[in-house]
Structure 1
Amino acid sequence: MASKEKRSLPKTLFSLLIFLLFITISSPQKITTIRFATWDTGELFQIEQAIAKNFEKLYPNIKVQVESYGDNFDQKLAASFGAKNPPDVMYMWDFPTYAESLLPLDDLIKNEKNINLNDYYPAVLNYCKYENKYYGLPVGFTSHVVYWNKDLFKRNNVQPPSPNWTWDELIDKAKKITNPSQKIYGFAFPISPDPYDFEQFLWSNGGRYCSLDGKEIEGYLNSKEMIETLALFTKMLREGIAVLTGTQQIQSGGDLFKAGKVGMLESGIWRLPEFQEAKLNFGVHILPAFKGKKVKSILNVSAISIAKDSKNIKEAWEFVKYYSYNKDAIKMRKGDLPTRKSVASEMGFLKDPYYQPFYKMVEASKDTVPSFNLNRNMRKVYDELAVTIEKIFSEQADENKIKEYLNELVTTCKRFLK
């Protein structure tokens, strides 16, 4: 009897294993849903949904719910953090404002073998840091360049911009292109430029808005370099070779450029498809340098971050890695430029005359960090600075008046950094 039981035991175990295997296969796999908040709408939103679907194919246990917040991105995001119900993953650029609500990624990055930080452009990575911690991985960027109208240059016998041109060269070309009777100007810039963007010109002149610890604006915001930088622009206005955009009379620099009324225009990557669709004969060139100094560009960087209160950090991190680093995901996106060197090279951007200047500028700006990222209260300084610059440009102020206005600005803003 005992020997018969022993002979039947293997068959019983085999049946049990088959049963357990059946239960495992037939049991539904646990699905974790993560929410991904984006500011994009339209085609860009649809692309992001497609990227999420591709991710889900690789990670069938994770579902990504893509949510478009559009123009109300900041309001909705702030409200979700306040209600302790934020999306797990979100687009991000304003790290000083949101850092307290975001998960520092340093430990996750350190333990990640499949991400090579050296393949990201250093300048782009810098923008994902706040108080020396990474709060996001870069997704896309634009540096700033000068678009120039080849037809206007040719018509006025003006040579194309030289490889390492200066503001003196730009001004000389602007003078030759300007034709007041036809309302054609050599250069155009906004009456109220975004202070975040405008700092690039001060960098190129050897200055910055505040100290590197983000605590001092005295001697920075009202420095000799800042006065010279602003005076450069007002001098072009007084000489009639540049025109202000964003006024009641003139709304858009892009429209002026497309109409053949402006020879040169400073802007980012977002202008490129607009000018290409208009079938303009134009070129793209690096920003001009101040004589004897190194040219720098501000970067507008999109990053992807994880909410500190996310209950699905493991799954969120998998998506963040895929969205930022996966080559297929990077190549699908539009609206900005790849942040990985290898992908930019693979896509031909480093040799394409339309895209190459953007990458030259990001290489030239690898040691820059905007003042905005150094102190969360710089936003208040920027608000006051915007008013001051608009006043300076509208009055076409000279250096003495500019100095007076900047000293008043520093006196007003010092309290913000206390």
Structure 2
Amino acid sequence: MKNNLSMEMQKLVGANTLRVIAYGVLAGALVLTAGCGKKEEEQTNLTLAIWDEAQLSVVQENVDAFNKEHEGKINVSVQQIPWDSYWTKLDASLETNEAPDVFWMNVYLTKYADHELLHSLDEYIEKDKLDLSVYASGRIKAFNYGDKQYALPKGLDTVVCALNKDIFQKYDVELPKEGWTWDDMRATADQLKSAIHEKGGSEYPIVMELDGQPSWINFLYQNGGYYLSEDGKTTGAALPESQDAIQQVVDLMDNGHMAPYEVLSESKGTDLFVSGQAGIVFVGSWKASVLEDSKLAQDGNVQLIQMPAMAKNNYCTMGGLGYVMSEKCKNKEAAWEFIRYISGEEAETHEAEKGIDIPAYLSAQDAYVKNFKNLDAQVFMEASKTGFPYPSNGNFDWTSFVDDSMQVAFAKKQSVKDALEEGAKKAQEVLDELYK
């Protein structure tokens, strides 16, 4: 009897032991499962492609700040590709899975958007309720194509006039005032011309760069014409308003109000100005440091002013860069997080403080202005409030015909009418072929 009871107890204990072991194994499995649930997410690695070596160190500082803030979650590495090979390498990479996740973009945006290589930012802008009015409106518009926003802007450039105060004082001519017109400019130039002639001087009343962006492209739009239609399919270089704008420039040269073409084709207008050879120059903000560092400005003799208004307005064309996202980016949420930061107030203010770019973020512009001791760079900022995007459809096969026709007109090798109509006809043939 005792032996039988002992056997039953052993069976009971054995069964309980098995239950305990089973419960232990199950509990352990639950612990392991819970541990897997708490495992940290893998870090997302992104690449940013830029081309300007001069901006690299400051851009890297902003990237480092972002990486520190997102340590263990997102890490961005910068690839600086020289301009000469930037687009070639970008094109090649976008055809594979090795494309940068985020990269700089300019007037070529339409080309990449048309080939569906860029990812629209609209869904993220809407989700985050991002206020785009914090940026210069012309730069937001520049990266909006087909009613889709493909980039957030980084920086911008504008065009204004610089006045040589020393020349105005020397020849006893009153300085122009804000709100002036081309009629006012002609009258001022005429006074300078007469006074310079009477005193045997050699300065020019007005000079300009012969390139389109700091000069004649602005004049086309200010007079009611245009370089390229908004849909990118038509050039307006031969419109009556455009012809009239260019004729007014030729007339300035003919009347001795502006340096002749032969002089402007040999020497940059800005160089003539800083060397004391001109009273007025149309100048892009990318030449701000040239003005700032000149002896003329150091002596307090450079004053900036908005361009004079033609028939329609005095608005200037604005260039600038933006940050786009590759359609092939594998983690678009992370890329958006980075784009928001690198084009945000903190990052753009840092770039402004370092003086590498005029920020498109309006509240950051004051930091850029403070870099200048000899110029009132705020004038460049004011021009950005009404500036319009540099006209481009991402294709430049047609532009040489228009650009060359302008030089022919300025050089008086043909009449303005004949030169512009011939150039516009050839350019339009390329555009029609492009969009047929």
Q: Distance in 1 between matches of 2:263 and 2:34?
A: 74
Partner of 2:360: 339
Q: Distance in 2 between matches of 1:323 and 1:244?
A: 45
Partner of 1:184: 203
Selected match of 2:81 from 64, 69, 74: 69
Determine if the alignment matches structure 1 residue 299 to structure 2 residue 318: yes
Selected match of 1:164 from 179, 193, 196: 179
Secondary structure of residue in 1 paired with 2:285: coil
Q: Distance in 2 between matches of 1:117 and 1:165?
A: 31
| TM-score where L is the length of structure 1 | 0.84
**Conserved? CA contact 1:227–1:403, under 8 Å:** yes
**Conserved? CA contact 2:189–2:206, under 8 Å:** yes
Q: Distance in 1 between matches of 2:380 and 2:30?
A: 64
Partner of 2:384: 362
Pairs aligned (count): 395
Secondary structure of residue in 1 paired with 2:155: strand
Q: Distance in 2 between matches of 1:216 and 1:270?
A: 28
Secondary structure of residue in 2 paired with 1:86: coil
The structure with higher relative contact order (CA 8 Å, sep 6+) is 1
Q: 1:140 to 1:249 in 2, by over 3 A?
A: closer
Q: 1:29 to 1:215 in 2, by over 3 A?
A: closer
Q: Distance in 2 between matches of 1:221 and 1:240?
A: 25
Q: 1:155 to 1:317 in 2, by over 3 A?
A: same
Structure number with bigger Rg: 2
Q: Distance in 1 between matches of 2:134 and 2:51?
A: 26
Alpha-carbon offset, residue 19 of structure 1: 11
Partner of 1:315: 334
2:365 aligned partner, one-letter code? A
| TM-score where L is the length of structure 2 | 0.80
Q: Distance in 2 between matches of 1:346 and 1:221?
A: 38
1:71 aligned partner, one-letter code? W
Selected match of 2:67 from 47, 53, 56: 56
Alpha-carbon offset, residue 380 of structure 1: 2.6
Partner of 2:141: 126
Alpha-carbon offset, residue 340 of structure 1: 2.3
Q: 1:127 to 1:161 in 2, by over 3 A?
A: same
**Conserved? CA contact 2:214–2:283, under 8 Å:** no
**Conserved? CA contact 1:144–1:268, under 8 Å:** yes
Determine if the alignment matches structure 1 residue 200 to structure 2 residue 226: no
Alpha-carbon offset, residue 83 of structure 1: 4.4
**Conserved? CA contact 2:402–2:424, under 8 Å:** no
Partner of 2:119: 103
Alpha-carbon offset, residue 53 of structure 1: 0.3
Q: 1:396 to 1:414 in 2, by over 3 A?
A: closer
Q: Distance in 1 between matches of 2:146 and 2:167?
A: 47
Partner of 1:235: 251
Q: Distance in 2 between matches of 1:335 and 1:175?
A: 38
1:36 aligned partner, one-letter code? L
1:357 aligned partner, one-letter code? V
Partner of 2:241: 225
% of aligned pairs identical? Answer: 24
Partner of 1:91: 104
1:362 aligned partner, one-letter code? S
**Conserved? CA contact 2:404–2:423, under 8 Å:** no
Q: Distance in 1 between matches of 2:175 and 2:147?
A: 42
Q: 1:244 to 1:57 in 2, by over 3 A?
A: farther
2:248 aligned partner, one-letter code? L
Q: Distance in 2 between matches of 1:248 and 1:283?
A: 22
Report the aligned-residue RMSD. Answer: 3.2
Alpha-carbon deviations, 1:188-225, whole Å to 9, x = none? Answer: 1234x2369632211111122344433344xx321111
Q: 1:370 to 1:15 in 2, by over 3 A?
A: closer
**Conserved? CA contact 2:162–2:281, under 8 Å:** yes
Partner of 1:403: 417
Secondary structure of residue in 2 paired with 1:243: coil
Q: 1:257 to 1:129 in 2, by over 3 A?
A: same
**Conserved? CA contact 2:164–2:302, under 8 Å:** yes
Partner of 1:38: 50
Alpha-carbon deviations, 1:226-252, whole Å to 9, x = none? Answer: 111111111111122322579797332
Secondary structure of residue in 2 paired with 1:311: coil
Secondary structure of residue in 1 paired with 2:103: strand
Partner of 1:382: 399
**Conserved? CA contact 2:140–2:152, under 8 Å:** yes
**Conserved? CA contact 2:208–2:268, under 8 Å:** no
Partner of 1:141: 156
Alpha-carbon deviations, 1:16-71, whole Å to 9, x = none? Answer: 869977x899x7862322111112113x2100111100000111122211111222
Secondary structure of residue in 2 paired with 1:34: strand
Q: Distance in 2 between matches of 1:248 and 1:338?
A: 31
**Conserved? CA contact 1:95–1:129, under 8 Å:** no
Deviates more, 1:159-168 or 1:353-362: 353-362
Selected match of 2:347 from 323, 329, 336: 329
Alpha-carbon offset, residue 75 of structure 1: 2.6
Q: Distance in 2 between matches of 1:287 and 1:275?
A: 17
2:89 aligned partner, one-letter code? K
